Amino acid sequence: MIYFIGAGPGAVDLITVKGKELLEKADLIIYAGSLVNPELLKYAKPDCVIMDSAKMTLEEVIAAMVPAAQSGKLVVRLHTGDPSIYGAHREQIDLLRSYGLDYEVVPGVSSFCAAAAALKAEYTLPNVSQSVIITRMEGRTPVPNRQKIADYAAHNATMVIFLSSSMLDKLQKELIAGGYKEDTPAAIVYKASWPDEKVCRCTVGTIAETAAKENITKTALITVGYFLGSEYDRSELYNPTFAHGYREADPSKLNLKPEVKA
């Protein structure tokens, strides 16, 4: 059996219980050494074979996995964050299927969730943004038409931009070209959940200079939007005037206040 496991954003205790238990049982672990916290490898058995995929090609990864899985070994492919976000696990899955091998995906905490936690922010504030756009600048991997930064900026929704820390001048220009005002709040979250995490609040117009000042050139997410501002509507779900399947409406509860200790 082959397990694609989300390692989480960095902090060792942010892997799932299921992910950790599989690491403990694995006979072969192939981990993404560029971003996965190597401390997670302490969970591996002493005789577990450990390989760093940062130094390998897709073909080499498959060549290591297939014979191990065919001889009944438990194989773990450890991806950073959640495998479904820029994880490149689909191409591995399709090749493994062509060898008739069975696999399972174990989700992980994506770095965009860890970034929100670091910011203590909610991406989906009522009347501010009800959508989160996860995207990236075009690099060596092309971005399809109508999915460019400027196309998305036009929506004024919350944006989380991956894989773009080395192109922040261009990112900033594209965000503004797409419709964000220069003073729209933004934040750079470097190494969310790692001990050396940094949170830099800025505006769309100062993303590049803020990163330069803080020496941030990789392992960062850029978040953009008024979810970083101070105005929003309260939720209907917890509003006493609003009824739903689990609760009757009771406007008198609008006056309910906690007992505050002096």
Verify binding: residue 191, ligand SAH, rule CB under 6 A. yes
How far apart, in whole angstroms, are the C-alpha atoms of residue 57 and residue 61?
A: 6
**What residue has token string 């492919």?**
77
Among positions 50, 73, 86, 199, the unique one binding ligand SAH when judged by CB under 6 A: 86
How far apart, in whole angstroms, are the C-alpha atoms of residue 192 and residue 119?
A: 9
Verify binding: residue 192, ligand SAH, rule CB under 6 A. yes
- DSSP code at position 261: P
Q: Token pair for residue 34?
A: 């560029």
Instruction: Give the closest residue to 188 by CA, choosing from 137, 224, 227.
Output: 224
- Considering beta carbons, is residue 92 or 111 the nearer one to ligand SAH? 111
Verify binding: residue 232, ligand SAH, rule CB under 6 A. no
- Count residues binding ligand SAH (CB under 6 A): 24
Among positions 2, 69, 221, 228, the unique one binding ligand SAH when judged by CB under 6 A: 221
- Write each residue from 8 to 47 as x if it is in contact with ligand SAH (CB under 6 A), else as -, in one continuous string: -xx------------------------x------------
How far apart, in whole angstroms, are the C-alpha atoms of residue 215 and residue 16?
A: 31
> 149 to 188, contacts with ligand SAH by CB under 6 A?
162-163
- Considering beta carbons, is residue 81 or 185 the nearer one to ligand SAH? 81
Q: How many CB atoms lie within 10 A of CB 184?
A: 20
